[in-house]
Amino acid sequence: MFAVHLLAFYFTKLKEDQIKKVDRFLYHMHLSDDVLLDVMTRFQAEMVKGLERDAHPTAAVKMLPTFVRSIPDGSEKGDFLALDLGGSKFRVLKVKVSEDGKQNVQMESQFYPTPKEITLGNGTELFDYVADCLADFMETKNIKHKKFPLGFTFSFPCIQTKLEEGVLLSWTKYFKVRGVQETDVTSSLRHALRKHKDVDVDVLALVNDTVGTMMTCGYDDQRCEVGVIIGTGTNACYMEEMSNIDLVEGDEGRMCINTEWGAFGDDGSLDDLRTEFDREIDLGSINPGKQLFEKMISGLYLGELVRLILLKMAKKGLLFNGKISAALRTKDKIETKHVAAMEKHKEGLQNTKEILMELGLTPSEEDCIAVQHVCTIVSFRSANLCAAALAAILTRLRENKKLIRLRTTVGIDGTLYKTHPQYPKRLHKVVRRLVPNCDVRFLLSESGSGKGAAMVTAVACRLVSQRKQIDEILASFELSKENLIEVKNKMRGELEYGLKKETHATATVKMLPTYVCGTPDGTEKGKFLALDLGGTNFRVLLVKIRSGRRKSVRMYNKIFAIPLEIMQGTGEELFDHIVQCIAEFLEYMGIKGARLPLGFTFSFPCRQASIDKGALVEWTKGFKATDCEGEDVVDMLREAIKRRNEFDLDIVAVVNDTVGTMMTCGYEDPNCEIGFIAGTGSNVCYMEEMKNIEIMEVTEGKMCINTEWGGFGDNGCIDSIRTKYDKEVDEGSLNPGKQRYEKMTSGMYLGEIVRQILIDLTKHGLLFRGQISESLRTRGIFETKFLSHIESDRLALLQVRRILQQLGLDSTCDDSIIVKEVCGAVSKRAAQLCGAGLAAIVEKKRENSNLEHLKITVGVDGTLYKLHPHFSGILRETVKEMAPQCDVTFMLSEDGSGKGAALITAVAKRLHNVGEN
C-alpha cells in the first residue's frame, strides 16, 4: 500500500519537475491575461490603421474590403460551382441551393492534390491546373454542357475593387507561384478556363476562406458576422460599417472586411512577444519577415515550432539525455497533426512516445512528459493570441453597434481548430474571459468555405441579372453613327419641306421667317426696353447701346416670376401680368414717363408678317394660356398696356430667343449666323438665302429663319429611336404628340425622361428597394440644374446621394450610381441628337454658299448648355463627326436674348425712321 502511494507521489513529483523545467525554459511563451489584453488593444489600433485612407498603405494589417455586403438571407437559389484553393486541400464543388420554403443546400465535391510543382511553379501552370481540375470535375459529374456561375475561394490576401476581381497582394503559407503577385487572379482563372471549349462558367465572385466560412455559417445562423480560420494559416473577417471603410465609397450598410490578421506584427509591433524560435521559423520560411502573427499561431508552423524547441532543449541536455537524432534536426519533421496527437487526453503520452521514437529518439518517461508540455505551451499560446485578436474584433463590433452587450456568432474553420483536441475549448474560454460583455457562439463550419462562396455567388448572380436589365434599358438610349446620320439627313429633309411653298403649311419643322435680315454692324445706338419671356426666367430689361469708337452695351434687368396659374390661365391674365411687371420695372428704374422703343423676346413659334407682328402658332414648353394661339402677341401686349393705361411703349420688334441669341453673339462676331438654344426648350435659327425661302416674294439677300426644330419628328419620322419613356413623357405633357424632338433634347423634358426610367427600374425592383416614393411620382423634380449636378464628375457618390435625398429620393449608394448612369444616358442622347440636327444646318449653310469648307459661328444659350457638365462637349464632338467639312465655333451668349432683341429693335427703329423720312 505504502509502496503504491510512494510511487504515485514519485510520479506526480516527476511530472511537476518536468513541467516546471519546461515552463522555465519557455517562460517567454506564457502570456498572462494582462499581456493578452495589451495584444488586444494593439490589434484594435491596427484595425483602425488598416481602415483609414492615409494610414492604410503602411498598415501591417491590411483590412481588405471584400465587396460582400450581406449575410445570406435565405433567398439565394440556383446551381453553382465553387473552387476552394489555398487551405490544406484543394477542392472543386457543385452546390445546389434551393429556396423551397425550407433552406436546402446540396453539395458534391472532389479533392485534388496540389503538388509542389504547382504551389512553387509559375502562374500559368497553376491556373491551367485549376482549370483542368474543374474540367475534370465537370466531366465526372457529367455537367459540361451547362453554363454555371462560379465562386472562387482563394485563401490569400487580395485587393478587391469589386466582388469578381482581386489582385494578389502577396503569397502566404506554402504557396509561392511566380508571376501572380500584383495581378488579378480571376482574370488569370478566366483566361485558363477559356482553353476548355466545353467549359462555360462565369467567375462571379472571389472570396477569401474566412469570408466563405462566415457565409457558410451565416446561412444557418443569421447572427454570424465574423469568420475565423485557424488552419494551415490563420485569419479573420467580420462585418464592418461602411462609414468606417475609407477605401470604399458609400456609407450605408456594412461590408465584410478580410483583416488578414496573419500579418499582424510585420511592422515590428509584436517583437517584444516573439521568441528566438519564432525568429528562426520566420527565417526558414518562404516569406521571411511576413505573416509574423500567423507564424506564431497556425497549423503550418506549430509542429516546426515544437521541433525547434525540442532541438534546443536536447542540445542543452534538457531532453533525451542530450542525444539528437537526424530526424529531429530535419525541418518540418514534426507536424501539427503530431502536436494534436501528443496532446490527446488519454493516449497523449503514449502517442508522444511513439512519435518521438519515430523521430529516431529514445525518450524516457520524463522526456515524454516534458515534450507533451512543450506542445501544450505552444498550442496554448496559439489559442491565446487568436483569442486576443478575436476579442479585439468582437469589441469593435460591439462598439460599432453602440451596445453594452453584444450577442454574436463566430463562424470558424481550419484543421488546427478542428483536429486539435484542446484547442476550441481553450480558445472559447480565453475569448470569454477577455470580452466578458460579449455572448459569443462559436459555430464550426461543417461544409467548408465552398458553400459560403456559392452563397456569395448566388447574390452576385442576382446582381448580374439585375445589371443586365438596367443595361438593356440604357441601351435603348444609345445611338449608333448610322442612327445619327439618319437623324441628320431627315432633319435636312424637313428643313427643305419647311422652306418649300407647297409643303410649308404642313411642315413639322416650321421654318418661320423672322424679318431679321442682317446681323448688327455696330452702328446701333439708343435706349431700349426689352422683354424676355419663355425661358427659365421672365426678365424686363433696359438696354443702352452706344455706337462708334466707344461702342458698348449696358443693361439693367429685373427677373420676375410667372406663377404657374398665370402660365396656364387666360391670355388676358398673362399679358396683364407682364404689363404689371413692366410697370414695376419702370417704377424701379424711374423711367415711367419715357416712351421707349421695346423689343419683345417671345420664345415660342410665331408666324410673322413683319418685324413687329407675330401670331403665336401654338404654345410650347410649360405655357398654355388660353385665347392666345393664332393671335398676334404684339397686339395682345399693346392691349394690355392700354388696359392698364399707366404708360405707353413703342413695341418695335418681336423676336424669338434663338434670334436674340444670334444677334447678341453677332454683335461680337459677324461670322455668327446661327442661334441655338439648349435650355428649357430646344431650337435653332439661321441666316437663309432669300431665294430659298419660297414663301417670301423677295429673292435678294438673306433672312433669319426660326426653324422651330423642336417639332421635328411630329410626323413620326424619328419614332424608331423614341423609347417608351419618351412616349410616356410626351403623353404626360401639355402638348401631347407635339415637339417630339424637343422632348428628347431639352431641359424641361430630360429630367422627366429620367424620372420615367427610374419609375420603371423601381417597378422592376432594381432601384429604391422597389418602393416608388411620393417624390418619384412628382412631375418635374429633376430640373436641369439637378441633372447637371448629379452628372458632375467632381461629385463623390455621397454627394449624389445627398442631392437625391434633397429631392426626396431616399437612395442607397448603389441607387445613386444607377441614377447617375440613367442621367448620363439621357443627356448624352440629347447632346448627340442636337449635334446631328446642327450638323444638318451647318451643312445646309455650307452648300448654300457653295464652299468646300465652311467656317461658321453658332451663338448658343440655355441652361442645359450652360450648366450641364457634358452636354456641350458631346454636342460639339457630334457636330464635328457629322459635318466634317464645317469648322464650327460655339460662342456662348453671356447676356441672354434681351441684348439681341434690343439690337434688333435698334436696327428696326433706324430703318423705320429712314422709311418715315
- Compute how many residues bind ligand GLC; rule: CB under 6 A: 38
Q: How far is the CB of 174 from ligand GLC (least distance, A)?
A: 10
Contacts with ligand GLC in 861-890 (CB under 6 A)? none
For residue 679, state whether it binds ligand BG6 (rule: CB under 6 A). Answer: yes
Backbone angles phi and psi of 888, in degrees to 5: -105, 125
CA angle 681, 685, 690 (to 5 degrees): 155
For residue 710, state whether it binds ligand BG6 (rule: CB under 6 A). Answer: no
What is the DSSP-derived secondary structure letter of residue 247? T
Alpha carbons 712 and 487: distance in angstroms, whole number:
10
Cβ atoms within 10 Å, residue 67? 21
Contacts with ligand BG6 in 434-453 (CB under 6 A)? 445, 448-450
Residue 759, C-alpha cell as written in the block: 419609375
For residue 227, state whether it binds ligand BG6 (rule: CB under 6 A). Answer: no
Alpha carbons 688 and 404: distance in angstroms, whole number:
79
Q: Is 539 a catalytic residue?
A: yes
Report whether 677 contacts 896 (CB < 8 A).
no
Helix (H) or strand (E) holding 151: strand 147-154
For residue 209, state whether it binds ligand GLC (rule: CB under 6 A). Answer: yes
Cβ atoms within 10 Å, residue 806? 12
For residue 742, state whether it binds ligand GLC (rule: CB under 6 A). Answer: yes
Q: How far is the CB of 215 from ligand GLC (least distance, A)?
A: 14
For residue 536, state whether it binds ligand BG6 (rule: CB under 6 A). Answer: yes
Q: How far is the CB of 599 from ligand BG6 (least distance, A)?
A: 12
For residue 235, state whether it binds ligand GLC (rule: CB under 6 A). Answer: yes
For residue 87, state whether it binds ligand GLC (rule: CB under 6 A). Answer: yes
What is the DSSP-derived secondary structure letter of residue 541? E
Q: Which is nearer to ligand GLC, 295 or 398 (CB)?
A: 295
Residue of 325, 603, 746, 811 marked catalytic: 603
Alpha carbons 315 and 687: distance in angstroms, whole number:
103
- Could you tell me which of 695, 678, 682, 710 has the C-alpha nearest to residue 514? 695
Q: Is 603 a catalytic residue?
A: yes
For residue 91, state whether it binds ligand GLC (rule: CB under 6 A). Answer: no
Helix (H) or strand (E) holding 310: helix 299-315
Contacts with ligand BG6 in 874-913 (CB under 6 A)? 896-898
Helix (H) or strand (E) holding 239: strand 234-241
For residue 157, state whether it binds ligand GLC (rule: CB under 6 A). Answer: yes
For residue 414, state whether it binds ligand BG6 (rule: CB under 6 A). Answer: yes
Q: How far is the CB of 612 from ligand GLC (least distance, A)?
A: 17
Q: Which is nearer to ligand BG6, 478 or 669 (CB)?
A: 669
Residue of 42, 539, 740, 755 marked catalytic: 539
Site string for ligand GLC, 643-662 (x = CB under 6 A): -------------xxx----
Report whether 31 contacts 391 (CB < 8 A).
no
For residue 367, state whether it binds ligand BG6 (rule: CB under 6 A). Answer: no
Which window, 2-10, 83-91, 375-383, 521-529, contacts ligand BG6 (CB under 6 A)? 83-91
Q: Which is nearer to ligand BG6, 163 or 313 (CB)?
A: 163
Helix (H) or strand (E) holding 112: strand 104-112
For residue 714, state whether it binds ligand BG6 (rule: CB under 6 A). Answer: no
**What, of ligand BG6, ligand GLC, none, does residue 605 touch, CB below 5 to 8 Å by kind?**
ligand GLC
For residue 282, state whether it binds ligand GLC (rule: CB under 6 A). Answer: no
Residue of 84, 576, 632, 657 marked catalytic: 657
Report whether 69 contacts 255 (CB < 8 A).
yes
Among 450, 679, 713, 896, binds ligand GLC (CB under 6 A): 679
Alpha carbons 337 and 375: distance in angstroms, whole number:
11
Alpha carbons 464 and 149: distance in angstroms, whole number:
10
Sign of CA dihedral 220, 225, 230, 236: positive
- Could you tell me which of 702, 605, 612, 609 has the C-alpha nearest to residue 650? 612
Calculated CA dihedral for residues 769, 775, 779, 784, nearest 10 degrees: -90
Alpha carbons 836 and 248: distance in angstroms, whole number:
40
**What, of ligand GLC, ligand BG6, none, does residue 604 touch, CB below 5 to 8 Å by kind?**
ligand GLC
For residue 119, state whether it binds ligand BG6 (rule: CB under 6 A). Answer: no
- Could you tell me which of 242, 258, 207, 221 has the C-alpha nearest to residue 440? 221
- Could you tell me which of 236, 908, 821, 126 has the C-alpha nearest to residue 520? 908
Give residues in contact with ligand GLC (CB under 6 A): 86-87, 155-157, 172-173, 208-210, 229, 231-235, 260, 262, 294, 534-535, 603-605, 620-621, 656-658, 677, 679-683, 708, 710, 742
For the annotated catalytic residues, the residue numbers are 539, 603, 657
Q: Site residues (CB under 6 A) for ligand BG6? A: 84, 86-89, 153, 155, 209, 229, 231-232, 299, 413-415, 445, 448-450, 532, 534-536, 601, 603, 657, 677, 679-680, 747, 861-863, 896-898
